[in-house]
Amino acid sequence: MENIPKVSELLKSCRSILFITGAGISAESGLPTYRGIGGLYESQDTEDGIPVETALAGEMLYKDPSVTWKYLLQIERNCRNATFNRAHQIIAEMERAFNRVWVLTQNVDGFHTDAGAEHVIEIHGNLHHLKCMKCYWRKTVKDFSGLTIPPKCPKCGFIIRPDVVLFGEMLPFDKYQTLTDQVEKGFDIYFWIGTTGVFPYIQGPLVDAKHSGSTTVEINPDDTLLSGEVDIKIPMKAGEALERIWKEYKEKI
């Protein structure tokens, strides 16, 4: 049986779903991915001649905030006139149709919640949530074009930053705890969508899924670290694959 009908058939007996998403699910919104063709990391060094991982590291933000903010601004500019796409919407619709649905996303664009999903773990934070690096000032800013770079706190004058996880920084404890709690409860089916799966906390649920005999699915036109490990590989773009799975599922119930 072709993989799409297999997945839509399996969903009929599922009550809980974990979606694990990466930059690829926002590619159809026009956002570049990080790795692979056209990715932000494709050219190893930035125009300043330093690796992207150095420019976007917590250490650099403290040492020379204007360097880090230059690349944060590049990422925000990519999101500025973009919005969620059909893949984000379908996941939000499935959250309302199934008993228990969670989204673990590495994306900082906020598109899952913008599309209406509620149980979203933004493990790398949200680019639009700005906070002062010294006092308690916080504000959501959807468009950085009016900011002076590096932006200063209107309350205390110190540098402000997006509430995101930069390279070399710890994951937010509260979000990681939520992820651990939810994965411990287990899910009937797991989807990895649009991610190269480079981080251990993105691969980790695969071990839990195999232990519990749950179904694992990857939706990604390319092969990744996960491709040889999942039960079902769907080599398609996120929007097209989810559209077909969701349509065939609704026809079956």
**Closest by alpha carbon to 19, among 149, 136, 159, 120?**
120
User: Would you state the structure tokens that stand for residue 192, as one six-digit string?
Assistant: 């990895």
88 is catalytic: no
User: Would you state the structure tokens that stand for residue 121, as one six-digit string?
Assistant: 């773990």
Residue 202 CB, shortest distance to ligand APR, in Å, is 7
- Name which of residues 72 to 101 contact ligand APR (CB under 6 A): none
Count the neighbouring beta carbons within 10 Å of the beta carbon of residue 44: 9
Residue 26 CB, shortest distance to ligand APR, in Å, is 9
- Name which of residues 199 to 228 contact ligand APR (CB under 6 A): 219-222, 224
Judged by CB under 6 A, the number of residues near ligand APR is 23
What whole-number distance in Å separates Cα of residue 252 and Cα of residue 224? Answer: 31
Place of tokens 């979000």: 175
Tell me if residue 90 falls in helix, strand or coil: helix
234 binds ligand APR (CB under 6 A): no
- Name which of residues 8 to 37 contact ligand APR (CB under 6 A): 22-24, 27-28, 33-36
Q: Are 123 and 19 in contact (CB under 8 A)?
A: no
DSSP 26: G
162 binds ligand APR (CB under 6 A): no
- Name which of residues 91 to 150 contact ligand APR (CB under 6 A): 106, 124
Q: Are 33 and 23 in contact (CB under 8 A)?
A: yes
Instruction: Please pick, among 88, 112, 119, 124, the residue that the annotation labels catalytic.
Output: 124
Q: Are 153 and 159 in contact (CB under 8 A)?
A: yes
237 binds ligand APR (CB under 6 A): yes
- Name which of residues 183 to 202 contact ligand APR (CB under 6 A): 194-196, 198
Q: Are 46 and 55 in contact (CB under 8 A)?
A: yes
Residue 88 CB, shortest distance to ligand APR, in Å, is 12
User: Would you state the structure tokens that stand for residue 244, as one six-digit string?
Assistant: 């077909």
**Position of minimal CB gap to ligand APR:** 24
Pairing state of beta strands 232-234 and 120-122?
unpaired
Residue 146 CB, shortest distance to ligand APR, in Å, is 25
Residue 159 CB, shortest distance to ligand APR, in Å, is 21
Give the catalytic positions in this structure: 124
Contact residues for ligand APR, defined by CB under 6 A: 22-24, 27-28, 33-36, 39, 106, 124, 194-196, 198, 219-222, 224, 237-238
